[in-house]
Amino acid sequence: MCASVKYNIRGPALIPRMKTKHRIYYVTLFSIVLLGLIATGMFQFWPHSIESSSDWSVEKRSVRDVPVVRLPADSPLPERGDLSCRMHTCFDVYRCGFNPKNKIKVYIYSLKKYVDDVGVPVSSTISREYNELLTAISDSDYYTDDITRACLFVPSIDVLNQNTLRIKETAQALAQLSRWDRGTNHLLFNMLPGGPPDYNTALDVPRDRALLAGGGFSTWTYRQGYDVSIPVYSPLSAEVDLPEKGPGPRQYFLLSSQTALHPEYREDLEALQAKHGESVLVLDKCTNLSEGGLAVRKRCHKHQVFDYPQVLQEATFCVVLRGARLGQAVLSDVLRAGCVPVIIADSYVLPFSEVLDWKRASVVVPEEKMSDVYSILQSIPQRQIEEMQRQARWFWEAYFQSIKAIALATLQIINDRIYPYAAISYEEWNDPPAVKWGSVSNPLFLPLIPPQSQGFTAIVLTYDRVESLFRVITEVSKVPSLSKLLVVWNNQNKNPPEDSLWPKIRVPLKVVRTAENKLSNRFFPYDEIQTEAVLAIDDDIIMLTSDELQFGYEVWREFPDRLVGYPGRLHLWDHEMNKWKYESEWTNEVSMVLTGAAFYHKYFNYLYTYKMPGDIKNWVDAHMNCEDIAMNFLVANVTGKAVIKVTPRKKFKCPECTAIDGLSLDQTHMVERSECINKFASVFGTMPLKVVEHRADPVLYKDDFPEKLKSFPNIGSL
Amino acid sequence: MGGHMQSWRRKSLWLALSASWLLILLGVFPLLRLAVPARPRARAPQGWPRWLDAELLQSFSQPGELLEDGPQPPQAPRGDSCNWGACFDASKCRDGGLKVFVYPAAGPISETRRRILASIEGSHYHTVSPAEACLLLLLSSDTPAGQCEPVPAQWDGGRNHLVLNLHPAPCPQTVQLGQAMVAKASPTVDTFRAGFDVALPLLPEAHPLRGGAPGQLQQHSPRPGVALLALAGERGRWYTAGTNSSACPWDGHCEQDHGPKQTPPGALLPNATFCLIPGRSPDAWHFLQALQAGCIPVLLSPHWELPFSEVIDWTKAAIVADERLPLQVLTALQEMPLTRVLALRQQTQFLWDAYFSSVEKVIHTTLEIIQDRIFGASARPSLLWNSPPGALLALPTFSTSPVDFPFYHLQQGSRPVGRFSALIWVEAPGQLPLKLIQVVAGSQHCAQILVLWSCEKPPPPRWPETAVPLTVIGGHRKASDRFFPYSAVSTDAILSLDAHSSLSTSEVDFAFVVWQSFPERMVGFLTWSHFWDETRGGWGYTAEKANEFSMVLTSAVFYHRYYHTLFTHSLPRALRSLADETPTCADVLMNFLVAAVTKVPPIKVPYGSRHQEARPPLAPGSPGLRQEPQPAAQDCINQMAAAFGHMPLVSSHLRLDPVLYKDPVSVLRKKYRSLEKP
């Protein structure tokens, strides 16, 4: 068929020379082939019956159809959990050695139905929540279906609730998993551990070295740094729609909503209610309601009926008391309601306590101090309470609200242990989005004044103004603290002057040639920069005096995390145009300095080159303008601080080039610069520039004091 | 005719062929499809199946089950192990906060121990009565081996006791520990009771008691060409490997491969970006050395608890890695983003300075941790422990909300509260600061005026009418009164003034606007500078006009009200009484305090020359504005330097002026034009 198609393509050229008989033959053949193709195509896209389509889409099966595994009564049993396990003793980290991108790979065993010798099931095959959990892992970046490359193994045997399974047989089922190997690198999820009468705080199923993500650990059973403490998921999270309620004073100061409380605790709570009256509300089961699902959603006090969990939103603090188990699903409901949990459960290991700072969202009260709860809570200032309410809600949103959130947080914790150098920080775990957005973590936060002896590196960006460049080099070389001079030769069509022609100066002079004429070359972190301080200077800045430059360096040493420059500029909000406007000299305020001559930390070169947000870097290179504004934005954004303008200088005006300083040119210049500010503000998503009303002068500037005794007498002019 | 025939035949042939093709297509293909088994398709990772009946699955718990999990009676604490709730009786600490009683030593005591005792006795935690104390501190013996401590009288099973074990004790189990908390150096992970015991750093014998050596870091980023790795060796030595080091620290071939320089014994601090510290080595004081040197500690599977791990977030300053993955660790270090390296380096220095550089800091940190446990909900948030200036200088009694302090506005995205309170100190009834009150009240930023009346005579009943509220506070005629945390102060900023200070409204306005940019610093008008006096072999200071300065006079200065709390509650008593004896010393002390906290110089703003002539003659004994400090006052700078353990003052070369200050442009353009009046 292929051959004939090929022939046909060549056909038109041959046809005129062929006999009619042949022509008919060819036309027929062509038609038939065409028809065949159409028919085949139609067949392919014709709606098929349901049976045949199953081949083509994702596998759809029923949980009831999964393979059955029969466990012989004498099949091996794992050891009980080893309490001394730590990551460096029981976890085989070699299995995680070759996972790219510092991300562990998780394998999920396929679902089986386990039955004992006589065919009685070991447990219900899988619960809705465990299915959700495995789905979440499977959909995440952690998942792999390659068992040989996995670092962590998650059995599909559902042990979320110990009450729904047979302990010995479940353990036997675990032991026969293909990579079990004493449970090494296996992760089990359990939310309801223990059983009557004494309710152990960890899953009773023998599991050898397997890690346990458990809800309701006590400090006695929790293996610090090995197990993961997780929340007990509250099904109400999905069933009930509870809109967020902001922080602030609420009707009840303290509320208890749990129904199955030990009488002794209930007495304590009721004593509190008697003492403090209306502000304390102790709820109980409703006795007069008909049984059914509705009972879960109602609470009563005397004859008053309250909706649960809605009533939690009416309280500032909500008691979360230990029941038979330490972990209580009510904690999730309470957090969600923005009610600050008062946790009264001695030795309870709070969910995700390895990474979450519960002090910010809860109050932990020892059981024997229960009668003092009210006074303890009253001593907390209102502002802190509101902070805690906000934090509680955020913890719920981020780590409690769905099975998926719980599963991913658990894996992230284990991942951070294995790749600690790529771990998520305290702030990322704990700060609510609003705080993360508003806060700045200055990359140069340590208050220190670098030694003067280090000096600075001057970087001169030049194209072809050799004469002016040489003058700049000569002038700058007079500055005592200059330690090196770097000329960035941005002209690809012309070679820099010969070595012998360059001015002879007392410090090393290096010329770097660039591959392309781009403005951003001036902010490249060249290896040649050995000092922390960088002086960016244009090749026509010859008006700055040596004192002026040296003073600029001294000021930078006192503010090493800021841009220190000479002429200052300002951004303003134009109310008529509803956008930012660039303002030039003669203002009482500054928010930017020109980088035609400015000192800054070389780290900002690294940031400018590799971490500039959005397309700003390319945009600047394309427009050949505003690289200085971009630098001002960048530094202000990461440090949260204003620039420092030094000395009275207002503009870089060279005496020789007054001719081009025309008014119209000025106008277009201002428009372009304003455009830059608006563009950058939209890319940064905020206006990071800070406005200040001060500049730095030498201590004795214009003071009545002998000039010759001043350190920087020749500080320059406007 | 023939043509017709031909066309008909052609048509029929055409039809027949098409029909047969159609038949073949429709009939044969499905047959083929059935006959040939579908070949297995190459699939993307299939993942967990989407069950058809997923919606029908049962929940892991029955609706009522979560509610009715059977109540259990309150449990008695278990005897075999302790945690904070079970083994510490915090009710004793409820009223007076943390009061610490230290057991006196039974026999002769060593010098180190005597100084440790002195340091605790000088602190505000100390109490002499064991009955009043809520924490009883037992300094584990540092006497020669063999002389073990007897069980102290108030032992009570160790309840509310802290056994402080700074150096590994000669007799390890001095007493049966029972319910006592143990603070010891580098405890093993297995015996450490988290949240109950306190992990200390392992201090070298000669660790300074007070002050301590500053961190070695002189610049934020690693020096170019500095070694990537240093490896902890025997007896406190370090081996450095070249910049492009391979896995040499692991295979032990450092010497042969790269010929690294072995640091000479005694010259101790590593010069590298990362310091590899094997986890099993018991001499964990490599760890402290690395911190001091600003070398990021890389701990390979440490078997000991990191010092003060309860409050210090070590992930910000050190890397705890698995020794079983050497290549991955090495690659991770080599490829670590510059931003992270910078942050880790700086954090090592901050932690060293804040908690580890002296024995006193280590002990105070231990006590502060216990105090935070007692405070529970009103303990310091993590931010206060883990960012400069550190928890010892951020008192939770002032506030637990970071925005109230001057240090955390950046992290919180907040600003200091809008206006300032002027606090005028009046010593002599003759010098009623009426003009000053009008000048200050004229400032748009002034919220209130507080007159601190510090004379024997009662204050006059009537004060001038001002735009802002004026309150008179009675003082105790002590210089340190000026820095008492008065509850009447309602703003973050305080403008501290003397009755004879002379200022103009625009000077006040401008200085306040500057202070808003530097809320953690003092912003003042008149300055002193300190210097090292070779001839006297001590520090001196002068009010001479100079090109630099390191102190601002508190007779006219803006600062954050938190410094009043710090001055009154954190400084040793001895220093405050020194300030009371010589009022000039109060100025010096305040400058020392703020410099020790911020580690940066104060800020000077312009001050009109006219004030200097117009100023009334000084009252005897009042701070010498523009006068050479008295010889007695000269000595207080040395006493304070000794008490601080180092010289905290830092010099500045600059003054912050208004942007158009004294520029040859029209005065009409200038916002602070009256600042320039001759």
The string of DSSP letters for A81-150 reads: P-TT--HHHH--GGGGTT-GGG---EEEPPP-EEE-TTS-BSB-S--HHHHHHHHHHHHSTTB-S-GGG-
Residue B392 domain-assigned? no
Could you report the predicted ipTM of this complex, rounded to two decimals? 0.87
Q: Do B61 and A264 touch (CB under 8 A)?
A: no
Per-residue pLDDT, A143: 95
Nearest CA in chain A to B662: A702
- Domain range summary for chain A, segments of one domain joined by +: 65-233+402-436, 236-397, 456-651+662-696
**d(CA B188, nearest CA chain A) in Å:** 13
Strands A280-282 and A252-256: parallel
Tokens standing for A658? 């007054």
C-beta atoms of B71 and A260 within 8 A: yes
The rounded Cα A282 to chain-centroid distance in angstroms is: 40
B481 catalytic per annotation = no
Instruction: List residues bridging with A343 in a β-sheet.
Output: A320, A364
Residue of A nearest to B517 (CA): A692
Question: What residues in B contact A640, CB-CB < 8 Å?
Answer: 410
Query: Is the residue at B672 inside a domain?
Result: no
Nearest to A97 by CA among A151, A140, A154: A151
Domain that holds residue B286: 227-254+261-357
Nearest alpha carbon to residue B658 among B533, B553, B512, B526:
B512
Q: What's the CA gap between B191 and B140, in Å, rounded?
A: 18
DSSP secondary structure, B373-414, as one string:
HHHGGGSPPHHHHHSTT-GGGS-TTT-SSGGGSSS-HHHHT-
Give residue B283's pLDDT: 59
- The answer to whether residues B584 and B485 belong to one domain is yes
Helix (H) or strand (E) holding A488: strand A482-489
On whether both B445 and B502 belong to a single domain, the answer is yes
CA dist., res. B26 & res. B446, Å (int): 94
Cβ separation of A527 and B224 shorter than 8 Å?
yes
CB B396 within 8 A of CB B378: yes
**Token pair of B174 as six digits:** 């001095």
- Quickly list H helices, B403-537: 409-412, 434-441, 505-517
pLDDT at A294: 67
pLDDT of residue B1: 44
Exposed, middle or buried, A230 (CB in 10 Å: 0-12/13-18/19+)? buried
Strand A304-307 vs strand B161-165: parallel, antiparallel, or unpaired?
unpaired
| Structure tokens belonging to residue B268 | 């101790």
Q: Report how far residue A66's alpha carbon sits from residue A702's, in angstroms, rounded to the nearest whole number.
A: 89
Cβ neighbours for A58, distance < 8 A, ≥ 6 positions apart = B46, B49, B50
- Looking at residue B28, its pLDDT comes to 54
CB distance A63–B349 less than 8 Å? no
Reported as a single tens digit per residue, the pLDDT across A402-425 is 999 999 999 999 999 998 888 999
Name the 3-class secondary structure at A418.
helix
Instruction: Give the sign of the dihedral formed by CA A201, CA A204, CA A208, CA A211.
Output: negative
| Any domain includes B409 | no
Which residue of B75, B315, B598 is in closest CB contact with A346? Answer: B75
Same domain assignment for residues B351 and B233: yes
Sign of the dihedral defined by the CA atoms of residues B82, B83, B89, B95, in that order: positive
Query: Is residue B310 domain-resident?
Result: yes
Are A704 and B609 a contacting pair at CB < 8 A? yes
Pair (B492, B451) in one structural domain: yes
Helix (H, G, I), strand (E, B) or coil at A319: strand
For position A15, what pLDDT does the model report? 43
Tell whether B270 and B194 lie within a shared domain: no
For all residues of chain A together, what is the average pLDDT? 88
- The pair of structure tokens assigned to A102 is 């510092």
Give me the sign of the Cα torsion angle A535, A540, A545, A546. Answer: positive
Q: Which of A606, A632, A600, A637 is nearest to A441 (CA)?
A: A637
Whether B32 contacts B38, CB under 8 Å: no
| Residue B420 main-chain phi, psi, to 5 deg | -130, 160
Quick check: B669 and A586 CB within 8 A?
yes
pLDDT of residue A99: 62
Q: From CA B549, how far away is CA B530, in angstroms rounded?
A: 7
Q: What is the length of chain B?
A: 678
What is the CATH code of the structural domain delimited by A236-397?
Answer: 3.40.50
Chosen for mutation from B373, B659, B669 (greatest number of chain A CBs closer than 10 Å) is B659
Assess whether B575 and B448 both reside in one domain. Answer: yes
Instruction: Tell me the average confidence (pLDDT) per consecutive run of 10 residues in chain B, 678 residues long.
Output: 57 64 56 47 68 88 70 56 78 79 75 78 82 85 50 76 75 61 83 86 83 85 84 75 48 39 54 85 76 91 88 94 84 90 95 93 92 86 94 92 94 89 89 90 95 88 90 87 93 94 93 96 95 91 92 96 94 88 89 96 90 45 46 79 91 96 90 84
Answer yes or no: is B339 within a domain: yes
Kindly report the backbone phi and psi dihedral angles of residue B629, in degrees, each rounded to the nearest multiple of 5, phi listed first: -60, 145
Any residues with CB less than 8 A from the CB of A239 and at least 6 apart, and which? none
Return the pLDDT at B161: 87
Same domain, B482 and B548: yes
Helices (H), B123-236: none
Of A443, A529, A588, nearest to B342 by CB-CB distance is A443
Q: Is the Cβ pair A61, B18 closer than 8 Å? A: no
CA distance to partner chain A, nearest, from residue B473 (Å): 27
CA distance A585 to A718: 10
User: Does the distance separating the beta carbons of A127 and B220 come in below 8 Å?
Assistant: no
Residue in chain B nearest A296 by alpha carbon: B64
From A604, A445, A444, select the one nearest A536 (Cα to Cα): A604
Residues contacting residue B247 through CB under 8 Å, at least 6 positions apart:
B326, B327, B330
Q: How far apart are CA B553 and CA A267, in angstroms?
A: 62
B272 DSSP β-pair partners: B227
Describe the crossing of helices A603-610 and B338-351 by its angle, rounded to 10 degrees.
Answer: 150
Of the candidates A111, A144, A699, the beta carbon closest to that of B655 is on: A699
Least confident range from A74-88, A594-608, B83-97: namely B83-97
Residue B475 falls inside a structural domain: yes
Across the interface, do B382 and A359 touch by the CB < 8 Å criterion? yes
Q: Which has more pLDDT, B353 or A41? A: B353
Residues 6+ apart with CB under 8 A from A621: A518, A519, A520
Instruction: Report which of A556, A567, A620, A625 is spatially closest to residue A592, judged by C-alpha positions.
Output: A567
Instruction: Check whether residue B478 and residue B517 sit in a common domain.
Output: yes
B164 with B237, same domain: the answer is no
- pLDDT for A1 equals 39
A236-397 and A456-651+662-696 in the same fold = no
- Count of beta carbons in the 10 Å neighbourhood of residue B41: 7
Task: Give pLDDT, residue B106.
Answer: 65
Chain B nearest-CA residue for A372: B91
- The CATH number of the structural domain formed by A456-651+662-696 is 3.90.550.10
Which 3-state string (H, E, C) describes A264-303? HHHHHHHHHHHHHHHHEEECECCCCCCCCHHHHHEEEECC
> Which of A448, A584, A602, A639 should one mutate to test binding to chain B, selecting the residue with the greatest count of B CBs within 10 A?
A448
Smallest Cβ–Cβ distance between B61 and the set A192, A196, A701 belongs to A192
% chain A with pLDDT above 70: 89
- Report d(CA B241, CA A239) in Å as an integer: 60
Distance separating alpha carbons of residues A238 and A228, to the nearest angstrom: 23
User: Count of A–B CB contacts within 8 Å?
Assistant: 407
pLDDT confidence tier of residue A435, bands split at 50, 70 and 90: confident
Q: Averaged over A489-496, what is the pLDDT? A: 94
- Name the strand (E) or helix (H) holding A154: strand A152-154
Q: What pTM was computed for the model?
A: 0.86
How far apart (Å, rounded) are the C-alpha atoms in residues B4 and B9?
A: 8
- Predicted confidence at residue B266, as pLDDT, reads 43
Q: How close A317 comes to chain B (CA, Å)? A: 13
Interface contact flag, A161 B69, Cβ < 8 Å: no
CB contact under 8 A, B662 and A711: no
Q: Given B587, B635, B657, B663, which residue is catalytic?
A: B587
**In chain B, how many domains are there?**
3
pLDDT one-digit tens code per residue, A683-709: 999 999 999 999 999 999 998 889 889
Residue A482 is predicted with a pLDDT of 97
- Nearest partner of B135 among B162, B156, B163, B113, judged by Cα: B162
| Contacts with B657 from chain A: Cβ below 8 Å | 694-697, 701
Instruction: Kindly list the residues from chain B whose CB atom is less than 8 angstroms away from the CB atom of residue A711.
Output: 547-548, 653
Contact: A384, B85; criterion CB under 8 Å: no
Same domain, B427 and B530: yes
Q: How far apart are CA B247 and CA B254, in angstroms?
A: 9
Cis ω for the linkage preceding A197 (within 30 of 0): yes
d(CA B439, CA B503): 7
Which of B18, B20, B48, B605 has the most A C-beta neighbours within 10 Å, making it the best mutation to test the interface with A? B48
As beta bridge partners, residue A646 has A696
DSSP string for A39-61: HHHHHHHSPPPHHHHTTTS----
Task: Give residue B145's pLDDT.
Answer: 42
B3: closest chain A residue by CA: A20
CA–CA dist A178, A185 (Å, integer)? 13
Cβ-based contacts of A646 with chain B (< 8 Å) = 654
B394 belongs to a structural domain: no
Q: Taking CB atoms and an 8 Å cutoff, what residues of chain A touch B671?
A: 588, 693
Distances (CA, A) of A245 to A251, A313, A315, A335: 13, 7, 11, 11
pLDDT value, residue A290:
61
Which residue has tokens 């093709």? B21
Tell me the pLDDT band of A3, cut-offs 50, 70 and 90.
very low
**Which of A19, A94, A421, A710 best probes binding to B when mutated, by most B CB atoms within 10 angstroms?**
A421
Q: Is A655 exposed, middle or buried (0-12, 13-18, 19+ CB in 10 A)?
A: exposed
C-alpha to C-alpha distance for A180 and A208, rounded to whole angstroms: 10
A459 strand-pairing partners: A486, A536
pLDDT value, residue B615: 44
**Any idea what the CATH number is for the domain that residue B591 is in?**
3.90.550.10
Q: What is the 3 state secondary structure string of B604-659?
A: ECCCCCHHHHHCCCCCCCCCCCCCCCCHHHHHHHHHHHHHHCCCCCCCECEEEEEC
**What pLDDT, on a 0 to 100 scale, did the predictor assign at position B631?**
59
